[in-house]
């Protein structure tokens, strides 16, 4: 594959809005999260002053990953020539829909990602994936359609992260710690001895994810599935909570579920699971197991809903059978088939807020 969205190294640049707008490519259409524009009132005027082709202000949030929002971006970009660029200042949701938009706008234009949440900075703005959610039988199926379209560049603007709440920082922190846990044992140990600064966490997580994407840019070799640690049950929890549970929060709980499945199958030793769970609860502050009880108890999905949600996960082949990334050791994972007989009894314990 070649063209504006072809795989390339991340091309990270760090700086404030001033340097970002100074280097704005000609004919840039900017998609900006409304909340970001509100918290950082100099941003949109600076983009306009720098000659942006247009600025589309959109509401971030899972609902943004829809055809309706895609249409709004495409409409705003209708007058762009094929030399135009799409720039997205936002979290993972606007980043994902903008990635799809950049892929189809004029049959593909370069994308510049300016991640405004920690989650977007450490994860979603890197790796080329963009997606929309689809409504299927009254339920939202996450990332049900998508594209690969690598960003031409990413701008990391630390001032953007100053308006993030504790909760938002935790959501991104969980994904970053997930990468360190599954890919770099040495870094995990050193993080526990001395927690990294936000900038170090971002640089390290991006470095680790970029390394994985470099080896398997279009997810053809199965090497990227390590990034899905915690996501099998994470996605289900996110969905049954009607997205009141944020992605990062759901993935944190999904990691506890993955440790339990690993223990049940003997892939993850009791000792390792205990140490990792304590660390996850303590430092990126993964939500406690009582939250599992709350989310599962409130939604009370019946067996068929649960199976449908798990089956919608593209990693799963036979009904009831899951393909999950499990932890073998610090920095080392295995891709394992998990039968219903293993995960269903665990689910019943999670539903009560317990540790199997």
Ligand X SMILES: NC(=O)c1ccc[n+]([C@@H]2O[C@H](COP(=O)([O-])OP(=O)(O)OC[C@H]3O[C@@H](n4cnc5c(N)ncnc54)[C@H](O)[C@@H]3O)[C@@H](O)[C@H]2O)c1
| Contact set with ligand X (CB under 6 A) | 33, 35-36, 39, 60-62, 65, 90-94, 96, 116-117, 119-120, 123-124, 127, 129-130, 142-143, 160, 163-164, 168, 171, 246-248
Measured distance CA(120)–CA(168) in Å, rounded: 11
What's phi and psi for 56, nearest 5 deg?
A: -105, 115
Q: Which does 234 bind (CB under 5 to 8 A by kind): Zn ion, ligand X, none?
A: none
Enter the tokens of residue 12.
Answer: 């990270």
Q: Considering beta carbons, is residue 251 or 312 the nearer one to Zn ion?
A: 251
Q: At what angle do helices 303-312 and 231-240 cross, to 10 degrees?
A: 130
Q: What are phi and psi of 10, to 5 degrees?
A: -55, -30
Report the nearest approach of Zn ion to the CB of residue 247 (Å): 6
Residue 36 binds which of Zn ion, ligand X, none (CB < 5-8 A, kind-dependent): ligand X
Please give the DSSP secondary-structure letter assigned to residue 287: P
Helix (H, G, I), strand (E, B) or coil at 326: strand
Q: Which is nearer to Zn ion, 111 or 255 (CB)?
A: 255
- DSSP sequence for 52-117: -SEEEEE--SGGGSSHHHHHHHHHHTTT--TT-EEEEEE-HHHHHHHHHHHHHGGG---EEEEE-S
Shortest separation between residue 125's beta carbon and ligand X, angstroms: 8
Residue 224 vs 289, nearer CB to ligand X: 224
Whether 314 contacts 254, CB under 8 Å? no
96 binds, among ligand X, Zn ion, none (CB under 5 to 8 A by kind): ligand X
For the bound state, the minimum distance from the C-beta of residue 329 to ligand X, rounded and expressed in Å, comes to 24
Nearest CB to Zn ion, comparing residues 70 and 205 = 205
- d(CA 54, CA 52) in angstroms, rounded, equals 5
Q: What are phi and psi of 157, to 5 degrees?
A: -110, 100
174 near 248, Cβ under 8 Å? yes
Query: Of 163 and 342, which CB lies nearer to ligand X in the complex structure?
Result: 163
Alpha-helix runs per DSSP H in 32-91: 34-39, 43-49, 67-76
CB of residue 35 to ligand X, shortest distance in Å: 4
* Bridge pairing between strands 85-90 and 28-33: parallel
Would you state the structure tokens that stand for residue 241, as one six-digit string? 């909570």
For residue 60, the partner it binds in Zn ion, ligand X, none, with Cβ less than 5 to 8 A by kind, is: ligand X
Q: Please state, in angstroms and as integers, the Cα–Cα distance from residue 112 to each residue in 21, 100, 178, 186, following that order.
A: 12, 13, 25, 32
Q: Report, in Å, the least distance between residue 274 CB and ligand X.
A: 27
Both structure tokens of 276: 């990792």
Site string for Zn ion, 239-258 (x = CB under 5 A): ------------x-------
Q: What does 94 interact with, of Zn ion, ligand X, none (CB < 5 to 8 A by kind)?
A: ligand X
Number of residues in contact with Zn ion under rule CB under 5 A: 1
Shortest Cβ contact with Zn ion: which residue?
A: 251
- Rounded Cα–Cα distance for residues 227 and 224 (Å): 6
Q: Minimum distance between the CB of residue 235 and ligand X, rounded to whole angstroms?
A: 8
Report in angstroms how near the CB of residue 90 gets to ligand X at its nearest. 6
Cβ at position 227, least distance to ligand X in Å: 8
Q: Which residues contact 139 (CB under 8 A, 6 or more apart)?
A: 239, 305, 308, 309
Among all residues, whose Cβ is closest to ligand X?
A: 92
With respect to Zn ion, which residue has the nearer C-beta, 143 or 342? 143
Site string for Zn ion, 192-231 (x = CB under 5 A): ----------------------------------------
Q: Which residues bind Zn ion (CB under 5 A)?
A: 251
């Amino acid at each position: 594959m070649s063209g504006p969205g072809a795989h390339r190294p991340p091309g990270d640049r760090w700086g404030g809005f001033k340097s970002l707008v100074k280097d704005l490519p000609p004919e840039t259409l900017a998609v900006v999260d409304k909340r970001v524009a509100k918290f950082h009132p100099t941003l949109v005027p600076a983009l306009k002053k720098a000659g942006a082709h247009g600025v589309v202000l959109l509401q971030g949030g899972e609902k943004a990953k829809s055809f309706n929002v895609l249409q709004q971006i495409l409409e705003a970009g209708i007058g762009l020539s094929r030399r135009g660029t799409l720039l997205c200042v936002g979290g993972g949701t606007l980043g994902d829909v903008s990635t799809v938009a950049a892929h189809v706008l004029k049959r593909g234009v370069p994308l510049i990602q300016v991640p405004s949440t920690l989650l977007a900075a450490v994860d979603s703005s890197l790796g080329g994936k963009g997606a929309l959610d689809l409504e299927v039988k009254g339920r939202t199926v996450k990332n049900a359609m998508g594209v690969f379209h690598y960003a031409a560049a990413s701008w990391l603007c630390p001032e953007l992260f100053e308006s993030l709440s504790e909760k938002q920082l935790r959501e991104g922190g969980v994904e970053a710690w997930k990468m360190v846990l599954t890919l770099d044992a040495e870094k995990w140990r050193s993080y526990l001895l001395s927690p990294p600064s936000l900038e170090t966490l971002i640089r390290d997580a991006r470095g680790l994810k970029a390394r994985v994407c470099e080896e398997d840019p279009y997810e053809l070799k199965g090497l990227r599935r390590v990034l899905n640690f915690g996501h099998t049950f994470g996605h289900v929890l996110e969905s049954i909570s009607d997205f009141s549970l944020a992605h990062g929060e759901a993935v944190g709980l999904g990691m506890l579920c993955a440790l339990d499945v690993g223990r049940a199958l003997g892939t993850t030793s009791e000792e390792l699971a205990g140490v990792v769970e304590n660390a996850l609860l303590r430092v990126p502050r993964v939500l406690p197991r009582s939250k599992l009880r709350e989310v599962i108890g409130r939604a009370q999905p019946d067996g068929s809903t649960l199976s449908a949600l798990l089956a919608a996960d593209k990693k799963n082949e036979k009904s009831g059978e899951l393909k999950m990334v499990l932890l073998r050791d610090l920095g080392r994972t295995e891709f394992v088939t998990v039968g219903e007989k293993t995960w269903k009894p665990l689910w019943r314990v999670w539903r009560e807020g317990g540790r199997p």
